Amino acid sequence: MQAVEVFDVAPRYNLSEEQEKKEIVRQYRALLKILKPKLKTGDKELLRRAFEMAVEAHRTMRRKSGEPYIFHPLAVSRICVEEIGLGVRSTICALLHDSVEDTDVTIEDVQREFGSEIARIIDGLTKIRNVVDTNASQQAENFKKILLTLTDDPRVILIKLADRLHNMRTLDSMKREKQLKASSETVYVYAPLAHRMGLYAIKTEMEDLSMKHLEPDIYRQIVRKLAETRRERTRYINEFIRPIREKMEKGSFSFEIHGRPKSIHSIWNKMKKKGVEFGEVYDLFAIRIVVDGPQEREKEDCWKAYSLVTDMYTPSPERLRDWLSNPKSNGYEALHTTVMGPQGRWVEVQIRSRRMDEIAEKGLAAHWKYKEGAGQDGDRFDHWFGQIREALGHQELSSIDFLQDFKTSFLAEEIYVFTPKGDVRMLPIGSSALDFAFAIHSAVGSCCIGAKVNHKLVPIGHKLSSGDQVEIITSGKQRPHEDWLVLVTTARAKSRIKDALREEKRKVAEDGRQLLERKLLSMGAACSLANFELLAEHYRLSSSLELFYRIAVKAIDIKDLKGFAVNGDKLELPRPVRTDPAEVKTDPELLRGQSMRKDAELVIFGERTDKILYQLANCCKPIPGDDVFGFVSTGKGLMIHRTNCPNAARLMANFAHRVVKTKWAKNKEISFLTGLRLTGIDDVGVIHKITHLISGELRININAITVEAKDGIFEGNIRIYVHDKEELDKLVEWLKQLTGIYSVERYDADATPQDHI
């Protein structure tokens, strides 16, 4: 029940060679033991051969912790079996998953020993790491390769998730920059993917382990507070459960009931979202009821259990989640409700059957087990894979754009909406009426001019909610527009709109091509691909098509081509005009915070003591003492971000090659602008007390202060100049001790939502 609270630093590795051999054998036997129910004739021999091949292949290799590398494939294999529910063939693949990549073992060796099925899965795992487009982000391109293999054999992605989970569990032995990169990738892509595959426990642990490295101070603080309140929470859970258990036993239910704490990551999210302290998070734990019974009666049993719970405790009407009637696309089925328990505390209650519980814990692997006879619901994963194949078919999309579209289309939470005839369509949260139109058919989407939602006329960009009934209105004269792209969420809608725009662009571009060809012929130059590409490069355009289009819409004046020379029939670029360095003006933004002065440098990179020019990112406004990283941004140079910046996970996951190791140097001469948001009881003199503390006692310079009072409560925003985080933390602590102050939170003064990449 308290598993999420014990992610301590890994112990130092100190086994002797003899102890190592015994430990390897012990771990292999433990793996065989948990696989025993799944073993068929000949399986044990296959597993032994795979184990021996992996041991031999990795015999000279060590992990960063110092332990033999073979410990990793053994641990990944165990996760595959115990936590994901995979079988013998997947275990063999997990044992060998790094062998082809990192050792002399070849795919041909694997195929000869274990057959084509296992060789194909291992080849898929290897391609995830090997096939990289050098012009794109390596992480995004890797992920695209993962999805290509996912649609071929989903076991590839399940083994990859097990591999990532074990790497996260052993991340303490890695360097800080590696921890940040791996944690960002995990929370940005792998945790949502595990969630989408139905692996909720793995998703939760990945999020917690990522937070441990991305926001270590807050992580440790929540872990400590969970430990301090463990006894009290256990007592409360037992008190809450007791009457439910008694009533269900009287009702002759076969069931299990237990409590579990919320994950550290979800507690922190709730604290941020609600703007509350740890003690004010109202549902720190959830109660799970698992009912046993025949499959044909499981929904009825779940609703009966719900009735018993709500007879005893008053439910919050808006917190009922019915995934029995409309399961999630990943097969998740359950009833969730939040009820008012003893002592006026809200408690989340989850109710599901044994089959539903297994699918919730084991996701896709359990889905396969129950697929036969599951009917339409059993095809939900297959439908999802089909949608991914369709998205992958649009190769024009860059890896970064594809990854972003995939996250919003396939990894987001879902809503269900109805067609006019009552058919259900699942869409990602945030979908518009236009998304729904494209989900019906591409032709319907392309001709959409509006919609009726619950019989009320709405524009095409109207955001849908669960339970809406949608009727699309079309016109034969309608055509997709570029501004439609901001109205849609799903990858299908975006790709269809881009296809239509591209086709329209080709028609317009043809006119531009003819204009350009006439101009080139008049200059004596050839209408060749080489000349087109030279011009596209000169104007910094991505393709010849873009060049033709710009000429057609008069964005490029072909009269400018007179500056080009013609050598034979080839164009030559005009000579660059020299600029006197004295005429180059310095961008005043670069001088913000005096960061261009030699004595004002505050960050050191790598292990050297070089002082580098930089800018502080507007999206998170770091100050000395914050945990930060450097990011090489096109057009702006080196930007310094906080590791908990809203954009940090995206930047580190997509552009890790542009992330620079960064730390602060001490310099008390420079002040940095930041902000504090205060709430409290509106009383005579409260503003004087606050300003006296800041300016009078602590001698901190105030840049601006705004205060609004209503119904006896005040809210104030104060912008101040501090030297470092230590000074800011001291100020926050002192402010909280003032009478009448309810909360003090840091905010990023003048922060902008996203920095230029």
d(CA 189, CA 209): 14
For residues 632 and 660, is the Cβ–Cβ distance under 8 A? yes
SS3 431: coil
Q: Which of 102, 152, 471, 569 is catalytic?
A: 102
| Annotated catalytic residue 102 | yes
- What count of other Cβ atoms lies within 10 Å of the Cβ of residue 183? 26
| Annotated catalytic residue 101 | yes
How many angstroms separate the Cα of 72 from the Cα of each of 27, 166, 169, 239?
11, 7, 11, 42
Tokens 């051969």 belong to: 49
d(CA 248, CA 246): 6
Phi first, then psi: what are they for 668, rounded to 5°? -90, 5
Structure-token pair, residue 152: 């071929």
d(CA 234, CA 553): 69
d(CA 706, CA 719): 9
d(CA 127, CA 139): 13
For residues 71 and 167, is the Cβ–Cβ distance under 8 A? no
Taking CB atoms within 8 Å and a gap of at least 24, the contacts of 559-567 are 561/519, 561/520, 561/523, 561/535, 562/523, 564/523, 564/525, 566/523, 566/524, 566/525
Tokens 């195929």 belong to: 111
Burial of 387 (0-12, 13-18, 19+ CB in 10 A): middle
SS3 719: strand
For residues 644 and 215, is the Cβ–Cβ distance under 8 A? yes
Question: What region, left, alpha or beta, does residue 115 occupy, with left being phi > 0 and alpha being psi -120 to 50 degrees?
Answer: left
SS3 524: coil
- Picking from 650, 651, 609, the residue whose alpha carbon sits closest to that of residue 630 is 651
Structure-token pair, residue 550: 């710009």
For residues 706 and 717, is the Cβ–Cβ distance under 8 A? yes
d(CA 208, CA 171): 13
Phi first, then psi: what are they for 582, rounded to 5°? -70, -20
Q: Which of 23, 82, 101, 153 is catalytic?
A: 101
Write the DSSP symbol of residue 291.
Answer: E
d(CA 524, CA 6): 75
SS3 673: strand
- Picking from 284, 294, 293, 288, the residue whose alpha carbon sits closest to that of residue 306 is 288
d(CA 191, CA 205): 9
Element holding 322 (H helix, E strand): strand 321-322
How many angstroms separate the Cα of 120 from the Cα of each of 108, 150, 596?
10, 12, 55
Buried b (16+ CB within 10 A) or exposed e, 318-349: eeeebbbebbbbbbbbbbbbbbebeeeeebbb
d(CA 6, CA 22): 27
d(CA 487, CA 465): 15
Tokens 């990793």 belong to: 72
Q: What is the dihedral of CA 458, 460, 466, 468, to 10 degrees?
A: 40
Q: Which residues are catalytic?
A: 101-102
